[in-house]
Chains A and B, each alone.
Chain A
Amino acid sequence: MKLTFPHMGNTYITVKALLDDLGADYVIPPFNIREALETGTRFAPEMACLPLKINLGNFIRAYEKGADTVLITGGCGPCRFGYYCEMHREILRDIGYPMDVITLEWPDKGLKEFLDRVRKIAGSLNICKILKAAKNATDVAIKVDELERLCFYLRPREKKAGTVDKIYKHFRAGVLQVKGSRNIRRLIRETFETLQSIEVDENARPLKVGIVGEIYTTIDSQTSFNIQERLGAMGVEVHRYVTVSGWIVEHMIKKALHLPRDIRYAKAAAPYLGAMIGGHAQETIGNTVLYANAGYDGVIQIYPLTCMPEIVAESILPAIERDLGMPVLTLIIDEMTGEAGYMTRLEAFIDLLQKRREAREFERKGALPWNRCRFGEH
């Protein structure tokens, strides 16, 4: 049995750490998202959401490289993601790529089925080994997200443009060369040290933009045309609450163990969206409010076309824009999205934020030219 799994930003690092530690045999699908999307679009239902199409493209390429089993997570709605596993199974079967799909979720059939699935992946039911591997993989996920956050901070401040990107790229490629969570963690540590040693402009006051929206398109920078790197290059500091490690810790571990979860976003969202409606709609709304309260300059919402929860969020965001004075840009992505049009909108939005900040600073000093004219010597 040779496993494969779908790409989503840096998740491949976490899954690699897990599978290496478990000693499983696996294939990482090629990194080319555009190509995967093109392949997936050919076989997926037209109106399916973008991640399904990319996943499908990933699996087909992985199959060609020898994989025969797909490993993905599941859910129980109401977002479509919960039924991805069945869609994948059915589509792959119809187009002649008979792959087995193992879904990591609590099955309808109960504990025995769950243990069967775990045994399939891990090769045995050595609880000690499995828990240790899971713990280490979670740790890797947390560290990778910290590393990404550091990049967000450094990009608009670096003195030599492109330094951070180069180191980050080198790290992403380097992960593929090493094996096991131990070595991956060492690589992360080294990268941290390299990043901390680069020259930065301490006096820079970059614009701050929060990224909200559907988890796949926000976490996977490639699907959104590397928006996070590009914003960094434009001198904007990016922040994003939704992360892979956050999803693993909050959504999987704490939920399974019934631990109290971090629900700041839900409290912040309450006046606008009173219930959990699936996907990340509540996070989108709540985090936008949190960004507004934290004095961010703007928020960008990203989601794939026809994403149900985000459509609800999108129709509520204008109310937050109005109430809290927070500019929001919504970017919707599908297989037809053109890069140039997308960049134009992004640049225009950043220009607007820049002008807005300048105007505010003038206001604070009481030195707007027209103010002086009206209340001055005349």
Chain B
Amino acid sequence: MKTKIGIPRGLFFYQYYPLWKTFFEELGAEIAVSGHTNRRILDMGVKSCVDEACLPVKVFFGHVLDLADKVDYLFIPRLTSVSRKEYICPKFGGLPDMVRHSLYGLPPIIDTEINLRKSGKNLLNAAMDVGSRLNCDKKAVRRALEKSLRAYREFREQVKKGALPPDIIDKRFPVLKKPSDRILNILVIGHVYNLYDNYINMDMLKKLRNNSVNLITVDMIDGCIIDEKAQTLNKKMFWYFGRKAMGTALHVLDRNDIDGVIYVMSFGCGVDSFISDLVEKKIRRKSDVPFIILTIDEHSGEAGFNTRLEAFLDMVRWRYRHEADVSSHG
């Protein structure tokens, strides 16, 4: 019988799932993914996790519980760093320990450390470590890693072209309303786990797309542009997401086709508490692009969220509708 490996649909799932899936399937394992986030998963997570943790971590706990009795292994890597000289967030580094010591009766956890801070070569070591836990030979692991990296690059290319990760992963073809109004280019900045989990963000992306909005997310901006822009910062950003968000924000200042910026953050996010403020400062100082921060947590009411979103879009549209109304004497 094939080994069944559980991958919780949380945190970096929407960033790395194609890579993980190919890798494990190449090694002859079977993959089980937890269901889409729903009330039950969220509630299970909230109940089992410390109160102070942020929403995405609580949701992740829910997904782990959803999988717990269905799989042979849980795949919860210790993601210390996925890029040179950068970290993700302390909670990612301590995630397997948090899960192991808060939840009981779990299947064995594959908690391989992935730390590319000093060198990208560590990726192979991490892959070998996972392989050895599944009793696979080194050659097969190497081949699986190469193949999975190819799958991952392909996935990133698709995202860059404008497809959303959940659509690619779930093989959905979104049916959208025909644009009824002028199409707005809205940049949405946010962590992958907030942006692409439709339950957490209360279907925000769908709502935007159905309101004649052309979505641009951080993942759709070219990596080189982001890096180039991020290098102009006074001090090097040491968070993976921070660099991307700051680079994107600075890139917006160069473009004049962006009609608005939405920053989605989860309550209590340490990285976002600084980055959202810095991004806002950068954008407000140098341009008049409308900017809004939407905060989500497990208590967010959908009505309030919708109101803010709609008000923002209305405001952006009024700018075009009343362009001619600007007083001629300033």
Interface residues on A, range: 35 or more
The complex places the Cα of A252 from the Cα of B59 at a distance, in Å, of: 38
B238 A306 Cβ-Cβ under 8 A: no
Task: For B162, list chain A residues within 8 Å (CB).
Answer: none
Interface centre among A82, A83, A94, A311 (most CB of B within 10 A): A311
Taking CB as reference atom, which chain A residue is nearest B80?
A275
Q: Mark A42-83, 1 if CB is under 8 A from B, else 0.
A: 000111110000000000000000000000001011111011
Q: Can you list 6 A-B contacts with CB-CB less than 8 angstroms, sorted by A residue number?
A: A80-B270, A94-B281, A278-B87, A279-B90, A316-B101, A318-B101
Q: Mark B221-254, 1 if CB is under 8 A from A, else 0.
A: 0000000000001111111001000000000000
Q: Mark B74-99, 1 if CB is under 8 A from A, else 0.
A: 00001010000111111101101110
A78 B89 Cβ-Cβ under 8 A: yes
For A76, give its contact among B85, B113, B274 (CB under 8 Å).
B85
A311 B93 Cβ-Cβ under 8 A: no
Q: Interface on A for B, CB 8 Å cutoff?
A: 45-49, 74, 76-80, 82-83, 85-87, 89-91, 94, 103, 108, 272-279, 281, 305-309, 311-316, 318-319, 332
A277 B80 Cβ-Cβ under 8 A: yes
B277 A87 Cβ-Cβ under 8 A: yes
Task: For B267, list chain A residues within 8 Å (CB).
Answer: 47
For A77, give its contact among B97, B239, B281 (CB under 8 Å).
B239
From known contacts A278-B93, A315-B53, infer whether A307 and B235 are also in contact, taking CB-CB under 8 Å: no
For A78, give its contact among B87, B269, B276 (CB under 8 Å).
B87
Taking CB as reference atom, which chain B residue is nearest A273?
B97
B interface SS class: mixed
B241 CB → nearest A CB, Å: 11
B88 A86 Cβ-Cβ under 8 A: no
Taking CB as reference atom, which chain B residue is nearest A78?
B87
Taking CB as reference atom, which chain B residue is nearest A319?
B101
From known contacts A45-B276, A78-B88, A78-B89, infer whether A85 and B235 are also in contact, taking CB-CB under 8 Å: yes
The complex places the Cα of A278 from the Cα of B52 at a distance, in Å, of: 17
Task: For B49, list chain A residues within 8 Å (CB).
Answer: 315
Task: For A319, list chain B residues within 8 Å (CB).
Answer: 101
Interface centre among A47, A80, A86, A332 (most CB of B within 10 A): A47
A-B contacts besides A78-B239, A274-B78, A305-B268, 18 pairs, CB < 8 Å: A48-B274, A49-B273, A77-B87, A78-B89, A83-B237, A83-B274, A85-B235, A273-B94, A275-B113, A277-B94, A305-B52, A308-B271, A309-B90, A312-B97, A315-B50, A315-B53, A315-B98, A316-B94
Q: Interface on B for A, CB 8 Å cutoff?
A: 49-50, 52-53, 78, 80, 85-91, 93-94, 96-98, 101-102, 111, 113, 233-239, 242, 267-274, 276-278, 281
B236 A275 Cβ-Cβ under 8 A: no
B102 A83 Cβ-Cβ under 8 A: no
From known contacts A90-B281, A281-B90, A312-B98, infer whether A47 and B50 are also in contact, taking CB-CB under 8 Å: no
A264 CB → nearest B CB, Å: 19
A92 CB → nearest B CB, Å: 12
Task: For B270, list chain A residues within 8 Å (CB).
Answer: 47, 49, 80, 306-308
Interface centre among A85, A274, A276 (most CB of B within 10 A): A274
Interface centre among B78, B93, B111 (most CB of A within 10 A): B93
A271 CB → nearest B CB, Å: 10
7 tightest A-B CB contacts, nearest first: A78-B87, A77-B238, A312-B94, A47-B273, A277-B93, A319-B101, A45-B277
Q: How many A-B residue pairs have CB under 8 A?
A: 127
Interface centre among B89, B90, B93, B270 (most CB of A within 10 A): B90
B275 CB → nearest A CB, Å: 9
Task: For B272, list chain A residues within 8 Å (CB).
Answer: 47
Task: For B78, list chain A residues within 8 Å (CB).
Answer: 274-275
B122 CB → nearest A CB, Å: 13
From known contacts A315-B53, A332-B52, infer whether A308 and B234 are also in contact, taking CB-CB under 8 Å: no
Taking CB as reference atom, which chain B residue is nearest A105?
B235
For B97, give its contact among A274, A278, A308 (CB under 8 Å).
A274
A94 CB → nearest B CB, Å: 6
Task: For A314, list chain B residues within 8 Å (CB).
Answer: 50, 52
Task: For A47, list chain B residues within 8 Å (CB).
Answer: 267-270, 272-273
The complex places the Cα of A68 from the Cα of B93 at a distance, in Å, of: 38
A116 CB → nearest B CB, Å: 14
The complex places the Cα of A275 from the Cα of B267 at a distance, in Å, of: 26
A86 B235 Cβ-Cβ under 8 A: yes
Task: For A318, list chain B residues within 8 Å (CB).
Answer: 101-102
Taking CB as reference atom, which chain B residue is nearest A279?
B90
Task: For A46, list chain B residues within 8 Å (CB).
Answer: 273
B274 A272 Cβ-Cβ under 8 A: no
Task: For A78, list chain B residues within 8 Å (CB).
Answer: 87-90, 93, 238-239
B88 A311 Cβ-Cβ under 8 A: no
The complex places the Cα of A164 from the Cα of B90 at a distance, in Å, of: 39
A281 B94 Cβ-Cβ under 8 A: yes
The complex places the Cα of A332 from the Cα of B267 at a distance, in Å, of: 16
Taking CB as reference atom, which chain B residue is nearest A79?
B90
The complex places the Cα of A166 from the Cα of B276 at a distance, in Å, of: 45
B273 A48 Cβ-Cβ under 8 A: yes
Task: For A281, list chain B residues within 8 Å (CB).
Answer: 90, 94
B273 A82 Cβ-Cβ under 8 A: no
For A316, give its contact among B93, B98, B276 (CB under 8 Å).
B98
A76 B101 Cβ-Cβ under 8 A: no
Task: For B87, list chain A residues within 8 Å (CB).
Answer: 77-78, 278
